[in-house]
Amino acid sequence: MTRIAIIGGHGKVALHLSAILTDEGHSVTSFIRNPDHAADVAETGATPSVLDVENSTTAALAQALKGHDAVVWSAGAGGGNPDRTYAVDKDAAIRSMDAAVQAGVNRYVMVSYLGARQDHGVPQSNSFFAYAEAKAAADEYLRGTDLAWTILGPGTLTEKPGTGLIRVDPSSGDSRETSRSNTAGVAAAVLDLPETAGRTIEFCDGTLPIAAALQP
């Protein structure tokens, strides 16, 4: 059994992920900001733990992560407020990486998005700009750590049922739709595939089973 920490545990992808992981026999700690969300998390089989990552120090995050075997970052400010987007999606994410190093948690999976990169091309006038900037900075910082990292880049998230079928590195002409359930399935799969460390995996819903699609 592996002990896995999920940061942003009440997000829709995270709730799918914790259910998958607990069904597989893993022990999951889901960190949430709002204690009112604890019951939803507990229903998945995960153990809810209240932690305000936006305002937590690196030391506090390291203490929370201690004893886990892997961490999944699935938190986000949710848009709408650029300052808060930078505070959560960039600054808190980076602190969590430093905290994982301090806590000796070597495996780190980042849920990012398809197209995240420093030359993302989103104009500053676009409301998505702060998120694109924050995710690019966090992803780049993660690549520079000594962690066994994997960055996941799902396409446009939907509530469609998970099929367990994806397409990796979709071309510009492909549909970018990606069910949250499939996204969680990919996150669970890479946690069981140490050979995916050091990879940025962009994907959307497709026709290949997840395990086959993740083969290099």
Q: CATH number for the domain including 65?
A: 3.40.50.720
Model pLDDT, residue 103: 98
Distance, CA of 172 to chain centre: 23
Q: For position 132, what pLDDT does the model report?
A: 96
| Reported pTM | 0.96
User: Which regions of the chain are under pLDDT 70?
Assistant: none
4 pairs with which residues across the strands? 28, 70
Give the three-state DSSP class for 111: strand
Question: What residues are paired with 158 via a beta bridge?
Answer: 179
CA 48 to chain centroid, in Å, comes to 17
pLDDT of residue 95: 98
Q: Cβ neighbours of residue 34 under 8 Å, at least 6 residues apart?
A: 10, 50
Domain count, the chain: 1
The pLDDT value given to residue 175:
87
192 to 49, 70, 117, 181, 196: CA distances (angstroms)? 24, 11, 26, 17, 9
Q: Which residues pair with 3 in a beta bridge?
A: 27
Predicted local distance difference test score (pLDDT) of residue 128: 92
Q: What is the pLDDT of residue 92?
A: 97
Report the amino acid identity of residue 203.
Answer: F
Question: Which residues span the domain enclosing 159?
Answer: 3-213
